[in-house]
Structure 1
Amino acid sequence: MEEVLFIAALFIALPWIVLHYITKWKTSATITTDDEALLEELYNLAKRLDDRMDTVERLVASDNPDFKPARLVHDSEVDNQQLRELEQLMAEKKGASQ
């Protein structure tokens, strides 16, 4: 009787457990639509905050000639290029999903 239980555990239970967790691992590795929406919202928030920071720094610099911005490079083209590429990818993804 013990041999039957051992064989059943070896050939049925063990593969079932392994396949169950492989399936869980594969489904959790993908990003959900809720996660995508949250990332897009956070991206838009970060972009708005960056614009506000530029405005605040410009206003303070106009009032105080000794003001030195905290950021090393103001409105960097390298950063802007990366943002444009990200916006293009997001637009392509939206176009493909519709």
Structure 2
Amino acid sequence: MEDLVPLLAIVCLFVILPGMGLWFADRQRRWKAQQSEATKMVDADLLRLADRLERRVEALEKILDSEAPNWRARHHG
């Protein structure tokens, strides 16, 4: 039994601990990749919403230009 203690210590130091380190590093790398994908999806959604909002504002400005031609001078001057 006393002969197994140094062997177990060597196995732990050179096999188990590095394996655990690699496993945790891989897990962290996968988590970061997953988070960056989620961020990309949110960014794409925000860009789509901004484009829609810009089109709506342009449409409203066209309507105001046709119905009240001097609206820009009244509100910007």
Is 1:52 the counterpart of 2:56? The answer is yes
TM value normalised by structure 1: 0.45
Q: CA RMSD in A?
A: 3.0
Assess, with a 3 A threshold, how the Cα gap between structure 1 residues 14 and 51 changes in structure 2: closer, same or farther.
same
Is 1:66 the counterpart of 2:69? The answer is no
* Alpha-carbon distance in structure 1 between the residues aligned to 2:41 and 2:51: 15
Relative CO higher for 1 or 2, CA cutoff 8 Å, sep ≥ 6?
1
Counting only pairs closer than 5 Å after superposition, residues 1-98 of structure 1 correspond to structure 2 as: 1-30=4-33, 31-32=36-37, 35=38, 36-56=40-60, 58=61, 59=64, 62-63=70-71, 65-68=73-76
Unpaired segments ≥5 residues, structure 2: none
TM value normalised by structure 2: 0.53
SS of corresponding position for 1:29 = helix
Size of the alignment, in residue pairs?
65
1:44 Cα deviation after fit: 1.0
Unpaired segments ≥5 residues, structure 1: 69-98
Deviations 1:9-61 (A, max 9, x none): 211221112111221233233344xx3544333221111112233444x3398
* Alpha-carbon distance in structure 2 between the residues aligned to 1:40 and 1:62: 37
Identity of aligned residues (%): 22
